[in-house]
Structure formats: C-alpha cells, structure tokens
Structure 1
C-alpha cells in the first residue's frame, strides 16, 4: 500500500493546465474554502500547492503543515485559507489521496482560482492609487463605462500603457481622477485569469462642515 501511494505521488507531478478550474471569490481579511467533496473515511494525504510551491500538506504520519500559518484542513479534506490578503489571489492545486476500499489508493486533483472583487468611489480631481500589482499579475486592463472595449493600462515588462496612468512605489496611480477613469479594472495573470476586479465609480457626494463649506471626504476607502 505504501509503495503504491508513493508511486502515485510521483505520477501526480504533471501539468494541470487543462483541468477545469473552480472559481473561488475572496474578501480581504475573510476566509476562503477550497472544497474537495470526498466522503471517504481513509484519506492518506492532502496537499495544496501554488506556483509550484507547497503551501499546505498533511498525511497520516505527521501533523498538518502550513507554510504561512493561515491554511487549515477542515472536515474530510476541505482546505481553508484564513485572513485573506490580496497577494493570496491566484491558482491553487489540491491533491487528495484516499481509499474507498481496503486495497486501492485513489487520487483526486482539483484546481482553483482565488480572486477578489471590490468597489471604490473616487471624487473628481482626487488621486486614485491601485495597489494591485501582485507578483503573479501579468497585466491590468480597464473597461470603461462607455463600452469602448478593453484598454491595457499596464503590462509586466512593458510598464504603463496609458497616458492617464503612472507607476509609483509598486502602485498604479491616476493623479487627477475624471469620469473617463471610472469603470472596471481587472488584474489578470498570464493565463488571462482574473486575480482582482475593481469597480471604480465617480463619487458626487459632498460633506459639509459647520460653516456650510464643502470639504474633502477623508473617510477610508471600502475594504477590498
């Protein structure tokens, strides 16, 4: 049994690019569950990997090991990522080895893409800072409200592609926000998968002080 299990581990090292991808939506600071839906009682090995690096593993010989202390096994073989950060966005591969009889070890492999959605309101003339250039981000595209199609604002290795956008301290910056900057911004990986999707709206809200004069809204932006 053990020899067969080790052989399956070796055979499991192949490209999963053609496997159906399960989309999982995350929220910054929240939790995300990667469900495997196996009811078998005897699970020998659970491994979650990302970018060819193991982030969590557990087998019958040792306790669970989490690379960052935020990943846990739940129920039979579900894996939960806690205290989500934008940098957690991307593709994950979950491998589970189990038996439903006394003699045969089976493998189930599932592929997930964890992504984030958010919404921000920006007042005209203000600076918009987008902290979205993740290590696995390939490009940032902008879909305007006017429906003029996709516009590439940034591509890895080529820099910014729009005169409205600048790059500073790892962020994409729009210094003088206008209505044409509103719309949907998508951060994509090399496969075209969405890592982050932000809906940017122009805020027309004004906050009056005690003298009746308008002042800038200094409240923090919504959590994405």
Structure 2
C-alpha cells in the first residue's frame, strides 16, 4: 500500500504522463515510434504490447522479442518490414536514473493497397485480436461489414483464421476497408482496387484456332488457283493454242 502511494506521488511530482501518439506506416516499410522524452539519464526503456514486453533496453543493451524491433537514438523505437499484424496499441515506458517514469501510448496504424481481379477471391488478414469491427466505403459512405461476435454482413464473406474473405470479388467491392478496435482507433486501412483480367488460356486457344483456320483457308485458295491455272495452260498447250 505504501509503495503504491509512493509511486503515485512520484508520478505527480515528476509529471508522469501517458499521452497518446498516432503513428502511420506502410506495409513492408519501416516506421519509428518517437520517444518524445528528454534524452537525459535514461536507465531503462520498455516497449510493451498488451501484457507482453516486446523490447527491453538497459545499460547492458537491448533484449527484443522481435528481430524487426530495435532502439534507435536515445529512446526511439523502430519497427522494420511492417506487417498488418503489427498494428495496434503500444506502451512505451522510459525510466530515468532518478526513478522518474515517463509513459506514452503509441497507436500504430498500417496502410496497404491490394489489386483484385473480378471473380477472384480477396483474402484480408486483418482480423487481429484487438480488432472490433471492419468498415468499408465501397458504396460511398462507411458501412460496417464485420463486427466481433456477429456474423458477416454479406453472403460472399467469411471470417476464419484471422482473415476476412470476399468470394467472387465484384467491381462494387472495391474501395477502402478499415479495421477499428474497441476504442474506435483505426488499426489498418486497406485500399482495394479492381485489377485487369488477362485472357484465359481457353479464350486464347479459340482466338488462335480461328486465325489458323483463316490462314489455312487462304493457303488452300492460293494453291487451288495455282492448280487451275496450270491445268488451263496444259489444256491450251495440248490444243495447240499456245
């Protein structure tokens, strides 16, 4: 009890804060979670996500649970090769030598772009553990298409293994899809466009068959005309006309 009151008192005295910062990155790229604290007498840095400590840095170096996460400078955190699963809420705790604790909340928002051909299957791996709902503006305004604990809003949609899948993709499905957590923070934004569909092997075969038939008929016509001319010449020669 005494220790808890002492820690609370230290927070007030040392201006212990927990402001939130939104950081946006692109899938496959790198992003920096800025420390935004004074780089003075820092003893320990801890980056957590939920109850899991992802990165702990002290005087003897850093211990990271993820090889893509590392410290840069005094207390900035860099995440490389971003994945959609990296989106979410992070807590950065910075401990100073005078026992002062500074805390900041980071919301990592990740963007992605996908091109899908009409009729194909679109699989969006966006149903994170922290995801509460998915919305799309494909109809011109934001519309909910998935919510945790409820069924999907379309017969062509399924939600399994963390994926929101759209079967038999239609042009009207194109647009922006965003994933929000229970606090209405945007975790992921995916822009889906309609890609060009290449001619199928079957249709290509039909095209070539028609061309082959045309060329074959043309060659046969020329050959028949040549035979007729030769026969006529032979008849005229036999008759002594030429």
State the secondary structure of the residue aligned to 1:38: coil
Pick closer, same or farther for the CA change 1:87–1:209 going to 2, 3 Å: closer
What is aligned with 2:66?
A: 68
Larger radius of gyration: 2
Structure 1 residue runs of 5 or longer lacking an equivalent are 13-17, 215-224
TM-superposition CA deviations, 1:121-170 (whole Å, max 9, x none): 222222111121112211111112x42x3222111122313334123444
Higher helix share: 2
Answering whether residue 120 of structure 2 is matched by residue 121 of structure 1, we say no
Higher RCO structure, 1 or 2 (CA under 8 Å, sep 6+)? 1
Answering whether residue 69 of structure 2 is matched by residue 78 of structure 1, we say no
TM-superposition CA deviations, 1:80-113 (whole Å, max 9, x none): 12332221110111111236xxxx5533222111
**Structure 1 residue 39, shift from structure 2 partner:** 4.1
What is aligned with 2:169?
A: 177
Pick closer, same or farther for the CA change 1:123–1:65 going to 2, 3 Å: same
TM-score by length of 1: 0.74
Higher strand share: 1
* Aligned counterpart in structure 2 of residue 198 of structure 1, from 190, 206, 213: 190
After the TM superposition, which segments of 4 or more aligned residues of structure 1 sit over 6 Å from their partners?
9-12, 209-212
Answering whether residue 119 of structure 2 is matched by residue 131 of structure 1, we say no
- The question of whether the paired residues in 2 share the 8 Å contact of 1:32 and 1:80 is answered with yes
Distance (Å, rounded) in 1 between the aligned partners of 2:125 and 2:9? 39
- The question of whether the paired residues in 2 share the 8 Å contact of 1:152 and 1:162 is answered with no
- The question of whether the paired residues in 1 share the 8 Å contact of 2:84 and 2:125 is answered with no
TM-score by length of 2: 0.69
Residues 3-152 of structure 1 correspond to what in structure 2 (within 5 A)? 8=7, 19-60=18-59, 62-98=60-96, 104-144=98-138, 146-147=139-140, 149-152=141-144
Between Structure 1 and Structure 2, how many residues are aligned? 196
Pick closer, same or farther for the CA change 1:26–1:9 going to 2, 3 Å: farther
TM-superposition CA deviations, 1:43-92 (whole Å, max 9, x none): 112111111322111233x4321122332211111111233222111011
Backbone CA RMSD of aligned residues: 3.0
What is aligned with 1:217?
A: none
Distance (Å, rounded) in 1 between the aligned partners of 2:169 and 2:94? 48
- The question of whether the paired residues in 1 share the 8 Å contact of 2:32 and 2:78 is answered with yes
**Structure 1 residue 181, shift from structure 2 partner:** 1.0
- The question of whether the paired residues in 2 share the 8 Å contact of 1:40 and 1:98 is answered with no
